[in-house]
């Protein structure tokens, strides 16, 4: 072999600079805050790992983390199967294909804070279309500013409405890549529709499904805008998810040290769980 | 086993995919469906397999009307041009899958899979996954599945089209032996005339959604009943030109030749003549006597044969001859046609002599 061509570094330099500016430098700032106590006038005191210990031991963090896992668990448990079912029932050809696709894509095009506001107004008991209908027509008491259950149902339904389309579109793309020949072979063998799903459609959807699950995990685990606009974390702390709690600590209480430590822990958890998901789902693909 | 099509048609919306077709396909030899892409080979197979409904007519298997019977209950197999295997199952499981659906016992499945694997030389690969196999082995797996099932009919829809040349020849040579004596009707769709000739048996020439001619392959090749059949079953394409018959002489541009036998008895008038490229030679022989001088456009050397495309009047002709012949592209060259090999067709395309 010849000596390594050092010029290669020159070509990756732009990427390195970009990554440094949009990832490394901000993260290092956060790391910097997480090990110090901050006062005004640029006064910093070394704190070591105190903030990390404090956050990891705090009941408030545990509660928020628990709510976060509950939320994400519900989102994945509903959106993934629902997305697959909708994708399976969409037409494969003809006039209705573009109609379905556009209808599916619409919720994803709406800005996130608008989605929160929409659902807020939609569910208001006195003037909201859904809220009024539930309370005054059906007589079901439904007020997410009063009832934690109502608040939870609303944020979950809102997220399902907003993001199931992503799963649908990904799965649909996976389904469309299956040649007709497979369905014909199944018909000739007399395979049941469950067997067609289990042995033809699911294996062919696996790659896109992995991406869908990862994306929905990361997005729902890091969700902020929509529940913040919708419930602001209430009533009480019942819908205070990790990100909302983090913003409360950082900007509400201006505790930059603990907030920085919490962000890093939050980041580590997201990374870890994503890695576990990815490893489990792609296991056995290597051969 | 016999599959019989009685005045079957297939329509999708307003489009007719298969025009009224009647055919009788028997076991014991290959039944080749020969036609270019879009001729209706796959459509016809899907009708016989029950994957698409007939618009009219009926399909019988051993006398039993199966027109409205599901593909599964027809007990058939279909091998596609793509290698259709379940990606996450081993080769064994792939071959066994239709047997499991049918609810066979474990020992019976073992026996059948082992036997099919032996026939198709897959025994060492039974525990592998399809994607670990070569294209040829993947298609063998699909064939093994069809054989293990011991179905009443095996439909092979251009099964070798996606294999490279060597594997294609190898598998084509073995196919008759693999499928012989199994009692199933074997239907083999291909777009290559050469493949039909190599496989023998019967051939149905398909063109534009209809069967142009059906019969023993060699017979169909030698005696096309109509111009469509003559064009469909020729590679390189058959030479076609207009002639005028006056008395016992045929006139084609400057060339003339004496008509004999049936052709001599035709009424005077215009006819279409067709002659295979192998009967148009670059030199005079005892039989090739009619001189045709045309401008050479394209020449091709393939192994021991050389072909030349030349322009004669307003039609393009092809000559195919043994040995290497020096042609000058763009230059006129004298070719010689064997008039005894000419076939004459009337204006409606039917063979007249």
Domain residue limits, chain A: 60-281
d(CA B307, CA B297): 11
pLDDT tens per residue across span A168-218: 999 999 999 888 888 888 888 888 888 888 888 888 888 889 889 999 999
Contact residues for A187 (Cβ-Cβ < 8 A; gap 6+):
B51, B70, B71, B72
Which residue, among B52, B88, B145, would best test binding to A if mutated, counting the most A CBs under 10 Å from its CB? B88
> Residue A3: pLDDT band by 50, 70, 90 thresholds?
low
Residue B18 vs residues A52, B42, B45, B49, B92: alpha-carbon distances, Å = 75, 10, 11, 15, 37
pLDDT tens per residue across span B69-112: 988 888 899 998 888 888 888 899 889 988 888 888 899 999 99
Smallest Cα distance from A46 to chain B, Å: 56
Proportion of chain B above pLDDT 90, given as a percent: 29
Looking at the predicted structure, is the pLDDT value of residue B275 above 90?
yes
d(CA B245, CA B345): 12
pLDDT tens per residue across span B200-259: 889 999 999 999 999 999 989 988 889 989 988 888 889 999 999 988 899 998 888 988
CB contact under 8 A, A185 and B84: yes
Q: Given CATH 3.40.120.10, say whether it is the number of domain A60-281.
A: no
B61, B153 in Cβ contact below 8 A?
A: yes
d(CA B274, CA B306): 20
Proportion of chain B above pLDDT 70, given as a percent: 100
- Predicted confidence at residue B48, as pLDDT, reads 92
pTM of the predicted protein model = 0.76
SS3 for B212? strand
pLDDT tens per residue across span B167-198: 888 888 888 888 877 888 999 999 999 889 98
- Predicted confidence at residue A140, as pLDDT, reads 83
- Predicted confidence at residue B134, as pLDDT, reads 85
β partners of residue B207: B210
- Predicted confidence at residue A284, as pLDDT, reads 64
Average pLDDT, whole number, for chain A? 86
Smallest Cα distance from A29 to chain B, Å: 47
- Predicted confidence at residue A287, as pLDDT, reads 41
- The pair of structure tokens assigned to B155 is 């439909």
Looking at the predicted structure, is the pLDDT value of residue A50 above 90?
no
d(CA A231, CA A145): 7
Highest mean pLDDT among A75-84, B1-10, B332-341: A75-84
d(CA B165, CA B348): 39
Tell me the domains of chain B and their CATH numbers.
2-226 (3.40.50.300), 239-345 (2.40.50.140)
Which of B82, B88, B98 is closest, CB to CB, to A189?
B98
Smallest Cα distance from A127 to chain B, Å: 50
- Predicted confidence at residue A236, as pLDDT, reads 79
CB contact under 8 A, B84 and A179: yes
What residues of chain A lie within 8 A of the CB of B84, using their CB?
Answer: 179, 181-182, 185
pLDDT tens per residue across span A256-273: 888 888 888 889 999 999
Reported ipTM: 0.73
d(CA A18, CA A24): 9
Residue A222 vs residues A1, A227, A286, B350: alpha-carbon distances, Å = 47, 11, 30, 76
CA dihedral sign, ordered A81, A86, A87, A88? positive
Is A287 an 8 Å CB contact of chain B?
A: yes
Which of B46, B101, B132 is closest, CB to CB, to A191?
B101
d(CA B306, CA B314): 23
For B160, the enclosing helix (H) or strand (E) is none
């Amino acid at each position: 072999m010849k000596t390594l061509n050092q010029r290669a570094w020159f070509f990756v330099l732009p990427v390195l600079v970009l990554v440094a500016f949009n990832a490394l430098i901000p993260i290092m700032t956060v790391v910097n805050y997480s090990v110090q106590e901050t006062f005004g006038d640029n006064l910093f005191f070394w704190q070591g790992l105190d903030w990390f210990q404090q956050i990891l031991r705090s009941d408030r963090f545990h509660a928020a983390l628990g709510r976060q896992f509950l939320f994400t668990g519900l989102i994945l448990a509903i959106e993934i199967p629902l997305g697959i079912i909708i994708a399976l029932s969409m037409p494969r050809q003809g006039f209705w294909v573009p109609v379905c696709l556009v209808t599916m894509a619409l919720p994803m095009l709406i800005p996130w804070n608008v989605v929160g506001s929409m659902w807020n107004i939609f569910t208001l008991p006195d003037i909201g279309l859904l809220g009024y209908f539930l309370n005054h027509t059906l007589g079901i008491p439904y007020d997410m500013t009063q009832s934690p259950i109502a608040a939870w149902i609303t944020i979950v339904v809102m997220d399902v409405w907003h993001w199931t389309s992503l799963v649908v579109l990904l799965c649909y793309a996976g389904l469309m890549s299956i040649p007709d020949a497979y369905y014909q072979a199944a018909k000739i063998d007399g395979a049941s529709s469950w067997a067609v799903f289990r042995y033809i459609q699911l294996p062919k959807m696996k790659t896109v499904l992995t991406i869908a699950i990862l994306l929905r995990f990361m997005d729902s685990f890091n969700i902020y805008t929509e529940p913040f606009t919708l419930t602001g974390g209430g009533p009480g702390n019942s819908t205070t998810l990790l990100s909302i709690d983090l913003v409360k600590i950082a900007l509400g209480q201006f505790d930059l040290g603990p907030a920085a430590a919490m962000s890093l822990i939050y980041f580590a958890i997201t990374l870890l769980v994503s890695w576990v998901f990815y490893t489990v789902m792609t296991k056995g693909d290597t051969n | 086993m016999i599959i019989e099509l009685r005045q079957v048609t297939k329509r999708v919306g307003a489009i007719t995919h298969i025009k009224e077709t009647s055919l009788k396909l028997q076991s014991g030899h290959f039944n080749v469906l020969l036609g270019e892409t879009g001729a209706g080979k796959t459509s016809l197979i899907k009708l016989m397999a029950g994957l698409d409904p007939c618009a009219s007519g009926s399909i019988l298997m051993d006398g039993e009307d199966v027109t409205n019977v599901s593909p599964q209950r027809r007990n058939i197999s279909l091998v596609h041009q793509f290698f259709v295997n379940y990606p996450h199952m081993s080769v064994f499981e792939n071959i066994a899958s239709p047997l499991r659906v049918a609810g066979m016992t474990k020992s019976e499945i073992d026996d059948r899979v082992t036997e099919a694997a032996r026939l198709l030389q897959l025994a060492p690969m039974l525990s592998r996954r399809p994607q670990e196999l070569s294209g040829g082995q993947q298609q063998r797996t699909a064939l093994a599945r069809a054989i293990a099932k011991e179905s009443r009919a095996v439909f092979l829809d251009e099964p070798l089209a996606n294999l490279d040349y060597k594997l294609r020849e190898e598998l084509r040579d073995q196919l008759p032996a693999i499928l012989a004596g199994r009692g199933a009707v074997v239907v083999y769709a291909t777009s290559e005339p050469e493949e039909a000739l190599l496989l023998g048996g019967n051939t149905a020439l398909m063109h534009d959604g209809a069967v142009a001619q059906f019969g023993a392959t060699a017979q169909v090749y030698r005696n096309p009943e109509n111009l469509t059949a003559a064009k469909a079953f020729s590679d390189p394409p058959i030479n076609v030109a207009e002639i005028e018959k006056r008395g016992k002489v045929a006139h084609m541009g400057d060339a003339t030749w004496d008509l004999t036998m049936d052709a001599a008895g035709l009424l005077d008038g215009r006819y279409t003549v067709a002659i295979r490229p192998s009967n148009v030679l670059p030199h005079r022989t005892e039989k090739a006597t009619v001189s045709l001088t045309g401008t050479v456009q394209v020449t091709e050397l393939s192994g021991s044969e050389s072909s030349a495309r030349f322009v004669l009047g307003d039609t393009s002709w092809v000559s195919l001859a043994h040995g290497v012949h020096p042609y000058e592209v763009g230059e006129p060259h004298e070719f010689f046609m064997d008039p005894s090999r000419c076939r004459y067709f009337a204006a409606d395309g039917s063979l007249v002599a």
